[in-house]
Amino acid sequence: STEPLVIFTPSGKRGHFPAGTPILTAARQLGVDLDSVCGGRGICSKCQITPSFGEFSKHGVTVQEDAISEWNSVEQRYKDKRGLIDGRRLGCQATVQGDIVIDVPPESQVHRQVVRKAASDRTITMDPATHLYYVEVDEPDMHEPTGDLERLERALQEQWEIGSITADLKILTRLQTVLRKGKWAATVALHKSHKDEAHKVVEIWSGMTEDRIYGLAIDLGSTTIAAHLCDLRNGEVKASTGVMNPQIRFGEDLMSRVSYAMMNPGGDQEMTNAVRTAINGLTEAIATEAGIRPFQILETVFVCNPVMHHLLLGIDPVELGQAPFALATSESLALNARDLDLNVMNENAQVYILPCIAGHVGADAAAVALSEEPDKSEDLVLVVDVGTNAEILLGNKERVLACSSPTGPAFEGAQISSGQRAAPGAIERIEINPETKEPRFRVIGSDIWSDEDGFDAVIATTGITGICGSGIIEAVAEMRIAGLLDPKGLIGSAEQTGTSRSIPEGRTHSYVIHDGSAEGGPVITVTQGDIRAIQLAKSALYAGARLLMDEMGVDTVDRVVLAGAFGAHISTKHAMVLGMIPDAPLDKVTSAGNAAGTGARIALSNLGARVEIERIVREITKVETAIEPKFQEHFVNANAIPHATDPFPELAK
Ligand code: FES
Question: Which regions of the chain carry the CATH code 3.10.20.30?
Answer: 5-108
To which CATH superfamily is domain 5-108 assigned? Beta-grasp domain (3.10.20.30)
Taking 50 as the threshold, does the pLDDT of residue 416 lie above it?
yes
Q: Which CATH class is domain 221-353?
A: alpha beta
Instruction: From the CA of 134, give the closest atom in ligand 1.
Output: 1
Give the model confidence (pLDDT) of 521-563 as tens digits: 789 999 999 999 999 999 999 999 999 999 999 999 999 999 8
Q: Does domain 373-409+533-652 have CATH number 3.30.420?
A: yes
Ligand 1 geometric centre to CA of 93 (Å): 8
Sorting pLDDT into bands at 50, 70 and 90, what band is 120? very low
Strands (E), 83-233: 89-90, 100-103, 130-136, 165-166, 185-191, 199-206, 214-220, 224-231
pLDDT interval class at 119 (50, 70, 90): very low
Radius of gyration, CA atoms only, the chain: 29
Give pLDDT, residue 118: 44
In which residue ranges of the chain is CATH 3.30.420.480 found?
221-353
Test site for ligand 1: of 35, 41, 82, 210, most ligand atoms within 8 A of the Cβ:
41
Q: Which atom of ligand 1 is nearest the CA belonging to 40?
A: 3
Q: Which is nearest to 257 in space by CA: 324, 301, 218, 306? A: 306
- Tell me if 554 sits within 8 A of 504, measured CB to CB: no
d(CA 547, CA 545): 5
On whether the CB atoms of residues 454 and 448 are closer than 8 A, the answer is yes
Buried b (16+ CB within 10 A) or exposed e, 218-247: bbbbbbbbbbbbbbbbbbeebbbbbbbbeb
Has residue 57 got a pLDDT over 60?
Answer: no
Residue 114 pLDDT > 60, yes or no?
no
Helix (H), strand (E), coil (C) string for 41-88? CCCCCCCEEEEECEEECCCCEEECHHHECCCCHHHHHHHHHHCCCCCC
Q: Which of 32, 46, 75 to mutate to test the pocket of ligand 1 (most atoms within 8 A of CB)?
A: 46
Neighbours of 385 (CB within 10 A): 30
Distance 177 CA to ligand 1 centre (A): 25
Give pLDDT, residue 565.
67
Does the structure show a pLDDT above 90 at 610?
Answer: yes
Q: What is the mean pLDDT of residues 63-72?
A: 82
Domain(s) of CATH 3.10.20.880: residues in the chain: 130-206
CA of 75 to the centre of ligand 1 (A): 10
Q: What is the end-to-end Cα distance of the chain in Å, rounded? A: 67
* CA-to-CA dists, residue 71 to 75, 77, 102, 148, 231, angstroms: 6, 10, 16, 36, 31
Instruction: Tell me the pLDDT band of 131, cut-offs 50, 70 and 90.
Output: very high
Phi and psi, residue 215, nearest 5° = -130, 155
- ipTM for this prediction: 0.98
Exposed, middle or buried: residue 123 (CB in 10 Å: 0-12, 13-18, 19+)?
exposed
The ligand 1 site (C-beta within 6 Å) comprises 24, 36, 38, 40-47, 90-92
Average pLDDT across the chain, whole number? 90
> How many other CB atoms are there within 10 angstroms of residue 275's CB atom?
20
Distance (Å, whole) CA 399 – CA 438: 47
| Topology of the domain covering 130-206 | Ubiquitin-like (UB roll) (3.10.20)
Q: Determine which residue's CA is closest to atom 3 belonging to ligand 1.
A: 40
Q: Which of 364-373, 457-466, 591-600 has the highest mean pLDDT?
A: 364-373
pLDDT at 212: 93
pTM of structure: 0.83
Q: Measure Cα distances from 638 to 180, 480, 543 in Å.
A: 69, 15, 7
Mean pLDDT for 365-373 is 94
